[in-house]
């Protein structure tokens, strides 16, 4: 009996600090996001007034928000498609190909993933600078002056410049992940396929891809969540939504409203919408990619 | 068995190498260029006839001195070291016992606690950074102090809290794989619960502790949005760099700006070169990204 009680005390003291901190800094702020979205608060008067779902109603009529939503969806879709294509391609090459420097490429490709977002923004600032940037001066040097652009200043291009930075940052991470699951595929499957006369490309589609499918499916959720978060940080540092809202994404709009303009209630309503949107999207993607799981 | 056409095989190989090399260049060239640019004088960036691809005329290490002293990057560097170290210590001291208790003991409410910590995995810090800021500033107002904002200890505490869920998940997954017999033997030898945990169980979890330290070091050192929101004078390196970039870009002091970039990324690159194997191996173990 005594032993049981002392065990209970030990367990309590082990878990209590973690439980308190997570409650204080994760759960309470999360509940506050939802609660505050029902109030009109902040702004000039700094009064707190319950307004029900009014914040959400004004959101639907807010052109800036709708534009941010559109941009965010474009970013999520394009970043996911491009990253997945290159990550799988590189992973397949590096895990199947028998050539030197496999490790070298893996180490290099992973570098963007360890750098701070601020550093990456700085690097892309150097690349995109219209007069002295690496991209434009390179294009001029090889005689393609017509392709030079105001990469971050042109309303039509800025979104793609951001997308490129996001893809550049993400490829290595997912490639390493896919390489790990490809490494688990038994070698004799490839030997059997090769005896049947399959080419490398056929093997990729008939053996590799079906066997890593469940892993790819899991990463789809990662793509959605991490692209929403990273696009916010990139945009916040690189363009702050400009020019003219053409690179605005919804979390940055939330941050601007809540922290910048001090319209907390409205800002948190955006947060709630994004939160629900990301979960719904992840659930839908999960549902439509559901296949029979093949195992080896 | 049909043989593949040797010509298509060669073309295939060329394309494969071209793609790999293009990606390598797109990563290595900009990073190397930033290192190079950090040694250039300002006149080498602006004005007619300057070539950004040219090597620096001389090694202008003055840029680093200016960045460290005048732009206060030295101060921010120290802040980052303090905050990262403190957050890592707090994280381990709090997450290890919790993970151990949750994975090795059977008690009432264990399931609910496990679910609650798992739920924390789904809350991203970007959503709650403003409520956290409000909570801290309201506490300041209520108590009539300005202790809670711009405080390095509070920042470390928030960093540690934000990665508790992930760390507990990873560590308790590892603790679960250890055989039960160790503890029973320790108890028979007269070890208490605390001594058993600290002296016997935690040392056995070293590999997963190392993974946690590596990943959280990177994420604390690189963290930007929380520090940007709640810190001011005592800010960290990433925020310092962001401000430096804004200032030096308008003042067109590019050399100092790139020196600042190098100051932020060099420690991370050095660490990466030393531990890249554990890092990419550990990633597939944890497999989460923020």
ipTM exceeding cut-off 0.95 for this assembly:
no
pLDDT band at A171 (very low <50, low <70, confident <90, very high): very high
Q: With 80 as the cut, is the pLDDT of residue A98 above it?
A: no
Handedness of CA A42, A47, A50, A55 (dihedral sign): negative
Inter-chain residue contact A264 with B116, CB threshold 8 Å:
no
Q: How many angstroms separate the CA of residue A178 from the nearest CA in chain B?
A: 9
Does A111 contact B at CB distance below 8 Å? yes
Q: With 80 as the cut, is the pLDDT of residue A174 above it?
A: yes
pLDDT band at A293 (very low <50, low <70, confident <90, very high): low
Q: Please report the pLDDT score of residue A198 as a whole number.
A: 87
- B127 or B284, higher pLDDT: B127
- Among chain A residues, the shortest Cα distance to B217 is held by A114
For an interface test with A, the pick among B10, B12, B14, B27 (most A C-beta atoms closer than 10 Å) comes out as: B27
**Looking at the domain assignment, is residue A20 inside a domain?**
no
Q: Which residues, other chains included, contact B132 with Cβ-Cβ below 8 Å and sequence gap of 6+?
A: A25, A29, B158, B226, B229, B230
pLDDT band at B170 (very low <50, low <70, confident <90, very high): very high
Strand partners of residue A40: A49
Q: Please report the pLDDT score of residue A199 as a whole number.
A: 84
**Looking at the domain assignment, is residue A25 inside a domain?**
no
Question: What's the average model confidence in pLDDT over B96-106?
Answer: 95
Quote the domain boundaries for residue A146.
45-288
What distance lies between CA B258 and its chain's CA centroid?
Answer: 21
**Looking at the domain assignment, is residue A26 inside a domain?**
no
Q: Please report the pLDDT score of residue B33 as a whole number.
A: 93
Q: With 90 as the cut, is the pLDDT of residue B153 above it?
A: yes
CATH code: domain of residue A67: 1.10.3720.10
Question: What's the average model confidence in pLDDT over B120-124?
Answer: 90
Q: Please report the pLDDT score of residue A184 as a whole number.
A: 87
Q: With pLDDT > 70 as the criterion, what percentage of chain A qualifies?
A: 96
Does A175 contact B at CB distance below 8 Å? no
**Looking at the domain assignment, is residue A295 inside a domain?**
no
Structure tokens at A242: 């400009």
Does A229 contact B at CB distance below 8 Å? yes
**Chain A partners within 8 Å of B258 (Cβ):** 122, 126
Structure tokens at B261: 């970039």
Q: Please report the pLDDT score of residue B135 as a whole number.
A: 94
Residue B38 · residue B261 · CB < 8 Å: yes
Residue B18 · residue A106 · CB < 8 Å: no
Q: Which residues, other chains included, contact B245 with Cβ-Cβ below 8 Å and sequence gap of 6+?
A: A118, A121, A122, A125, B257, B260, B261
Question: What's the average model confidence in pLDDT over B278-285?
Answer: 69
Mean pLDDT score of chain B? 89
pLDDT tens figures, B205-252: 998 999 899 999 999 999 999 999 999 999 999 999 999 998 887 777
pLDDT tens figures, A156-170: 999 999 999 999 999
Does A127 contact B at CB distance below 8 Å? yes
Q: Which residues, other chains included, contact B8 with Cβ-Cβ below 8 Å and sequence gap of 6+?
A: none
Q: Residue B31 CB: number of other CB atoms within 10 A?
A: 18
Inter-chain residue contact B127 with A274, CB threshold 8 Å:
yes
Q: Please report the pLDDT score of residue B56 as a whole number.
A: 84
Number of domain units in chain A: 1
Q: How many angstroms separate the CA of residue B128 from the nearest CA in chain A?
A: 6
Handedness of CA B139, A31, A281, A62 (dihedral sign): negative
Domains and CATH numbers, chain B: 70-286 (1.10.3720.10)
Q: Please report the pLDDT score of residue A90 as a whole number.
A: 93
Q: Please report the pLDDT score of residue B289 as a whole number.
A: 41
Burial of A187 (0-12, 13-18, 19+ CB in 10 A): exposed
**Looking at the domain assignment, is residue A110 inside a domain?**
yes
Q: Please report the pLDDT score of residue B2 as a whole number.
A: 47
Residues A244 and A153: their CA atoms lie apart, in Å, by 10
Query: CA A71 → CA A55, A78, A161, A245, A272, distances in Å?
Result: 21, 11, 13, 9, 18
Q: With pLDDT > 70 as the criterion, what percentage of chain B qualifies?
A: 94
**Chain B partners within 8 Å of A237 (Cβ):** 224, 242
**Residue-wise burial string across A88-114, b where 16 or more C-beta atoms lie within 10 A, e elsewhere:** bbbbbbbbebeeeeeeebbbbbbbbbb
Q: Quick one: which H or E segment has residue A39? A: strand A39-40
Inter-chain residue contact B164 with A22, CB threshold 8 Å:
yes
Q: Please report the pLDDT score of residue A43 as a whole number.
A: 57
Burial of B137 (0-12, 13-18, 19+ CB in 10 A): middle
What distance lies between CA A245 and its chain's CA centroid?
Answer: 20
Q: Please report the pLDDT score of residue B181 as a whole number.
A: 84
Does A28 contact B at CB distance below 8 Å? yes
- Among chain B residues, the shortest Cα distance to A107 is held by B276
Residue A235 · residue A121 · CB < 8 Å: no
Q: Please report the pLDDT score of residue B76 as a whole number.
A: 95
**Looking at the domain assignment, is residue A225 inside a domain?**
yes
Question: What's the average model confidence in pLDDT over B162-184?
Answer: 91
For an interface test with B, the pick among A6, A114, A135, A229 (most B C-beta atoms closer than 10 Å) comes out as: A114
DSSP-derived secondary structure for A41-83: --TTTT--EE-TTHHHHHHHH-HHHHHHHHHHHHHHHHHHHHH
């Amino acid at each position: 009996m005594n032993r049981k009680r002392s065990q209970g005390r030990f367990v309590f003291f082990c878990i209590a600090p973690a439980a308190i901190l997570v409650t204080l800094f994760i759960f309470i702020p999360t509940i506050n996001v939802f609660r505050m979205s029902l109030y009109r608060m902040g702004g000039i008067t700094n009064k707190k007034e319950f307004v029900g779902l009014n914040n959400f109603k004004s959101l639907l009529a807010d052109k800036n928000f709708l534009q941010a939503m559109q941009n965010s969806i474009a970013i999520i879709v394009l970043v996911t498609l491009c990253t997945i294509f290159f990550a799988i391609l590189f992973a397949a090459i590096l895990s199947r190909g028998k050539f030197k420097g496999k490790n070298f490429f893996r180490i290099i490709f992973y570098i963007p993933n360890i750098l701070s977002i601020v550093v990456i923004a700085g690097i892309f600032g150097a690349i995109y600078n219209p007069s002295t940037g690496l991209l434009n001066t390179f294009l001029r040097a090889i005689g393609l002056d017509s392709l030079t652009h105001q990469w971050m200043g042109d309303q039509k291009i800025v979104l793609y410049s951001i997308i490129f930075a996001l893809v550049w940052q993400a490829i290595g991470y997912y490639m390493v992940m896919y390489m790990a699951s490809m490494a688990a595929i038994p070698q004799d499957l490839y030997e059997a396929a090769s005896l049947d006369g399959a080419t490398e490309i056929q093997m990729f589609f008939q053996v590799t891809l079906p066997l890593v499918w469940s892993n790819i499916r899991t990463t789809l959720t990662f793509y959605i969540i991490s692209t929403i978060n990273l696009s916010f940080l990139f945009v916040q540092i690189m363009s702050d939504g400009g020019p003219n809202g053409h690179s605005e994404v919804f979390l940055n709009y939330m941050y601007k409203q809540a922290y910048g303009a001090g319209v907390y209630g409205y800002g948190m309503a955006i947060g709630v919408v994004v939160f629900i949107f990301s979960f719904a999207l992840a659930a839908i993607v999960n549902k439509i990619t559901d296949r029979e799981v093949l195992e080896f | 068995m049909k043989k593949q056409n040797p010509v298509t095989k060669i073309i295939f190989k060329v394309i494969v190498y071209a793609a790999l090399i293009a990606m390598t260049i797109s990563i290595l060239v900009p990073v190397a260029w930033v290192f190079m640019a950090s040694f250039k004088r300002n006149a080498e960036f602006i004005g007619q006839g300057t070539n950004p691809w040219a090597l620096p005329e001389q090694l202008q290490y003055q840029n680093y001195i200016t960045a460290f002293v005048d732009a206060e990057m030295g101060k921010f560097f120290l802040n980052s070291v303090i905050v990262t170290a403190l957050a890592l210590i707090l994280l381990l001291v709090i997450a290890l016992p919790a993970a151990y208790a949750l994975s090795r003991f059977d008690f009432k409410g264990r399931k609910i606690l496990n679910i609650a910590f798992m739920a924390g995995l789904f809350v991203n810090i970007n959503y709650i950074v403003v409520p956290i800021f409000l909570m801290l500033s309201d506490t300041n107002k209520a108590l009539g102090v300005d202790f809670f904002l711009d405080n390095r200890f509070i920042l470390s505490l928030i960093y540690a809290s934000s990665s508790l869920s992930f760390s507990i998940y990873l560590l308790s997954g590892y603790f679960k794989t250890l055989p039960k017999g160790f503890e029973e033997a320790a108890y028979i030898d007269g070890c208490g619960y605390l001594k058993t945990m600290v002296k016997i169980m935690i040392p056995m979890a070293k590999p997963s502790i190392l993974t946690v330290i590596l990943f959280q070091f990177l994420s604390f050192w690189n963290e930007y949005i929380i520090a940007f929101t709640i810190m001011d004078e005592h800010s960290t390196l990433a925020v310092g760099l962001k401000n430096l970039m804004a200032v030096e870009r308008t003042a067109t002091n590019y050399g100092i700006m790139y020196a600042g970039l190098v100051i932020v990324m060099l420690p991370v690159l050095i660490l990466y070169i030393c531990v890249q194997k554990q890092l990419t191996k550990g990633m597939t173990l944890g497999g989460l990204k923020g």
